[in-house]
Structure 1
Amino acid sequence: MSKPTLLGISGSLRKDSFNRKLIREAARLFDGDFIEADLQMPLYDGDLESASGVPVPAQTLAEQIANADAVIISTPEYNQALSGVLKNALDWVSRTDGAPWKNKPVAIISAAAGRAGGARAQYSLRLAMNPFRPRLLTGPEVGVAGAQAEFNDDGLLTNKHYIKALTELMAALHADAKR
């Protein structure tokens, strides 16, 4: 296998969100090709699906998942759970043909302003992912707390403990992708 392809999914739509910065840091440490997903899509609506089918952005995301060798998801924590944007994308992908997540190596990370670093969002995301049967890595856990103080002006992590944990996680994901 040549260099594996990593799909990065940020649960935040903001261009300069901490979670977007974190998936880019993960990609830098992964040693592979990187594609960043776009979660701009309509809210899931069964009537919309009946009338028009799965929207192009959701189908594109499903194809990106299926074609990637591994996926890294970084979720913000909104009201003690994963973001609505991310849950919406998961719901739409579940409506596509095939099973793009099945047996796919997936790592979950988070960056949040609070001191728990998005731990509850990671837990809720793991629960939301269970029906899709991916190969979820269990660690090391990476939850960047107080994220506003953990990235420099270039968007790079500055805390050596977070860098070490993220490096270990990406090495594990890379090894799983080559399996």
Structure 2
Amino acid sequence: MTTIGILEGSLRRASLSRAVARAALALVPDGVQAVALPNPGSLPLFNQDILDEGMPDAAAALIAALGNVDAVLIVTPEYNWSIPGGLKNAIDWVSRVTPTPLARKPVAIWSVSPGLLGGARVHESLRQTLHCMDMVIMAKPEVQIGGAKDKVDVEAGAIVNAETEAFLRGHLSTFDAFCKSWNRA
């Protein structure tokens, strides 16, 4: 059974991407377990001086949670054509342990936006960072949920557009197959 950890890229409680991340927990196919990873909002800004005094509890919890999953699904908005600061900060904390729990782990990206492009520009910069972490990136099919205000119920944490839900379910099945093929390689 594949266990997919879902990492939220947004810190905002009422964000569209957090709602999609919560909905994804129930969209995985049979034989797949999805778990929510700790939200990056609890982490202090990365600072070597802080690390020199000891790994913060919030960072240690995220690192431990990542060590317990087979793959990672990142669900994120796009900020200024790039990675949200909180998400990048989380990756920076995780990168400070050896071995990093991200190395050689399959990862997929879903971007979510009220705009028409669906956060498309975050994919390139996030892939570059994940590649640096030695993750195995499932690049296609891409998931960019544009016009998300009409497709997501933020309060319920649910996908309300049937076509979008079907696409996401299909993507999770493809990601599971990708994870299984990678684990056999």
Same fold (TM over 0.5): yes
For 2:97 and 2:4, locate their aligned partners in 1 and report how far apart those are by CA, in whole Å.
21
RMSD, matched Cα = 1.7
Q: Encode CA deviations 1:57-116: one digit per residue, 9 max, x unaligned.
A: 112212221220111101111111110000000001000121211121111001112211
Separation of aligned partners in 1, 2:144 and 2:108: 12
- Give the counterpart of 1:42 among 23, 41, 44: 44
Partner of 2:22: 24
CA distance in 2, matches of 1:69, 1:45: 28
User: What is the letter of the counterpart of residue 101 of structure 2?
Assistant: P
Where structure 1 has 5 or more consecutive residues not aligned to the other structure, the ranges are none
Cα distance in structure 2, aligned partners of 1:156 and 1:126: 26
Measure the CA separation in 1 of the matches of 2:98 and 2:109: 24
TM-superposed CA distance for 1:140, in Å, is: 1.5
1:120 equivalent in alignment to 2:129: no
Aligned to 1:89: 90
TM superposition score normalised by structure 2: 0.87
Q: Could you list the runs of 5+ residues in structure 2 that have no partner in the other structure? A: none
Provide the residue aligned with 1:68 in structure 2.
69
The SS at the match of 2:114 is coil
Q: What TM-score, normalized by structure 1, do the two folds share?
A: 0.89
Percent identity, please.
35
Cα drift, residue 164 of structure 1: 3.1
Contact 1:54 1:95 in 2 (8 A): no
Moved over 4 A (4+): none
- Distance of aligned partners of 1:124 and 1:161 in 2 relative to their CA distance in 1, 3 Å threshold: farther
CA contact (8 A) 2:25 2:36 kept: no
Q: For the Cα contact (< 8 Å) 1:70–1:173, is it kept in 2? A: no
